[in-house]
Structure formats: C-alpha cells, structure tokens
C-alpha cells in the first residue's frame, strides 16, 4: 500500500476522509483480503468507524470478521418494528456470542402511527414504498451515523447481489462518509465456506427458503433457481435506500424535514 494513502490517526480522533485519494486507495485494496481492508479502515478512521448489520441470512460472516479485528466497533441495527421474531432472537444470540457493541435505532414514528397516517405503505405505489423506506430505514441510519460521529461505515455488500452493487468499489464516498465494502468480491461459495470454517449460523429462517431477509411483510422464500433478492419487495433496484447515494437536493430536503 502506498504510504501516502495510509492516514493513521489517533483512536480518539476521526480522520478527514476528504484527504483520501479514493481512486488510488481502491487500486490498492481491489484484490486485498477482507481482513486487510478492515485493518486499513481501522487504522485510517479510528473511532470514526462504524458498521451496520441487518442480522439477515448471512450476517454472522461480517459480524465475526469485523468484531475480531475492531473490538467494540459500534454495530448499527435498524429495528423497523416489522422484523421477524426470529431476527430479534438471532440478533441477541450473535450480540452475546461476539460481545457486540450494538446500537439499535428505530423510526421516529411508530409502526402503528405510520399505518394510521399512511396505510400499509409497502402495498402501495413506488412513492409509498419510498416513504416507507425513508421513515423506517434511511432516516434512522442517517441519525445513527450523525449521533455516532461516523466518518466511515463498513457494510457487507457483495457485487453479485444487485445491479447497483455490481458497480461499487471497495471504498466509496457516500453522503459525507466513506463506505467500506470488505467482502464486495465474495461469491456465495466464499460466504458458505467462511460460515462452515468458523462454525457460524445462518439466520434461523434461511433453512426455510428465506435467503435474503428483511421486514416480515416484504420478505418471501425463494427457490434455488431464483435470485436470492427476488424474495425482497424493495422496488426495481432491490435496495431499501440506505446504501443508495442521494443528490444534494435530497440531502438538503432530508435535513430540513427534521425526520
């Protein structure tokens, strides 16, 4: 790695990610092992580093990888109020097993109030679905990043999951933070092998055909012939919104709304 790109900072201070040469850093990290990418992020961003987890089908992989190398890292868990009961118990199991520093964030508006005001948004138009994602996922994640003072965010996205993710790089600036994708190039077999090697569990519903798991009302089992994301009713991009960059106008609207 080029020494000029290795911005080691004291753990008490976040680094200035604007000093990163993103293209050069990606060239350095493109084929690096996941552990190397995580160590780079730890040394570069110090206490400004957080990670997120949906506690979905294969979430034990990233939680195991990161918690070993960055003990105590804040783990953001978005509780929409519509998760499967098995997701809550799975999250508790992994939190205890790995000693996670879990940070649970919930919507500002309860599920009951949302349905009273807007109906069952996940059954509505694209606009309704966008509002649902904004209230339950995008705003809570933005709030988590802000309150935790995050300058970088580790996420377990893989290029093979969606068309959008296929175009990502290991390091991507997104709305004021640096996204870090240590397992971006991993295949399903890489994930399976890691789980088996380290004796890690899948989500309890995985063995019932739920290979991509989100809210109970928008998640269905899939067959092996289907894409795993076909079981998620997330819109055309198959994304809930938290990993999609927004325009400056959208960011300004979000901040001014108070949501």
Identify the three-state secondary structure at position 217.
Answer: helix
How much is the pLDDT for 20? 85
**Catalytic, out of 80, 240, 241, 243:** 240
Q: Is 180 helix (H, G, I), strand (E, B) or coil?
A: strand
pLDDT at 225: 66
pTM for the whole thing?
0.82
Residue 177 confidence (pLDDT) = 92
How do the domains of the chain map onto residue ranges? 3-257
Taking the C-alpha atoms of residue 4 and residue 7, their distance in angstroms, rounded to an integer, is 7
> How crowded is residue 123: how many other Cβ atoms within 10 Å of its Cβ?
12
Q: Give the Cβ contact number of residue 40 at 10 Å.
A: 23
What's the average pLDDT block by block, 10 residues per block, for the chain (259 residues)? 34 52 92 96 96 95 97 97 96 98 97 96 91 94 97 91 82 91 94 97 93 89 71 54 52 34
Q: Are 243 and 157 in contact (CB under 8 A)?
A: yes
Alpha helices in the chain (DSSP H): 22-29, 34-45, 60-69, 85-98, 111-118, 126-133, 139-147, 163-166, 188-197, 248-257
Q: Are 7 and 19 in contact (CB under 8 A)?
A: yes
- For this structure, is 240 an active site residue? yes
Helical axes 22-29 vs 34-45, angle rounded to 10°: 150
pLDDT at 166: 85
Among 46, 52, 44, which residue's Cα sits nearest to residue 12? 46
What is the signed CA dihedral for 243, 27, 167, 21, rounded to 10 degrees?
A: 50
User: d(Cα 237, Cα 244) in Å, to the nearest integer?
Assistant: 10
CATH number of the domain at 3-257, out of 3.90.850.10, 3.40.50.620, 3.40.50.1100, 3.90.1150.10?
3.40.50.620
- What does the block give as tokens for 222? 């899939």
> In this predicted structure, what is the pLDDT of residue 211?
84
pLDDT at 212: 85
Q: Are 161 and 243 in contact (CB under 8 A)?
A: no
Dihedral sign (CA 202, 204, 209, 210) = negative
């Amino acid at each position: 790695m080029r020494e000029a790109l290795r911005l080691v900072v004291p753990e008490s201070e976040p680094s200035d990610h604007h000093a990163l040469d993103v293209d050069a850093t990606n060239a350095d990290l493109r084929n690096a092992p996941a552990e190397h990418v995580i160590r780079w992020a730890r040394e570069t961003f110090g206490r400004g580093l957080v990670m997120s987890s949906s506690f979905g089908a294969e979430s034990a992989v990233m939680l195991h990888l990161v918690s070993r190398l960055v003990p105590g890292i804040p783990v953001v868990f978005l509780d929409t109020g519509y998760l499967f009961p098995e997701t809550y118990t799975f999250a508790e199991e992994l939190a205890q097993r790995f000693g996670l520093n879990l940070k649970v964030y919930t919507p500002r508006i309860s599920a009951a109030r949302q349905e009273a005001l807007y109906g069952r948004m996940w059954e509505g138009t694209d606009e309704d679905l966008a509002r649902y994602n904004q209230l339950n996922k995008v705003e809570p994640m933005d709030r988590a990043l802000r309150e935790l003072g995050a300058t970088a965010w580790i996420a377990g996205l893989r290029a093979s999951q969606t068309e959008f993710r296929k175009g990502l790089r290991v390091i991507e600036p997104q709305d004021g933070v640096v996204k870090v994708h240590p397992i971006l190039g991993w295949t399903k077999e890489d994930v399976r092998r890691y789980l088996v090697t380290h004796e890690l569990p899948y989500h309890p519903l995985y063995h019932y055909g739920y290979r991509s798991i989100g809210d109970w009302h928008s998640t269905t089992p899939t067959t092996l012939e289907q894409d795993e994301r076909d079981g998620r009713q997330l819109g055309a991009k198959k994304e809930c919104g938290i990993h999609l960059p927004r325009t400056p106008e959208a960011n300004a609207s979000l901040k001014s709304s108070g949501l």
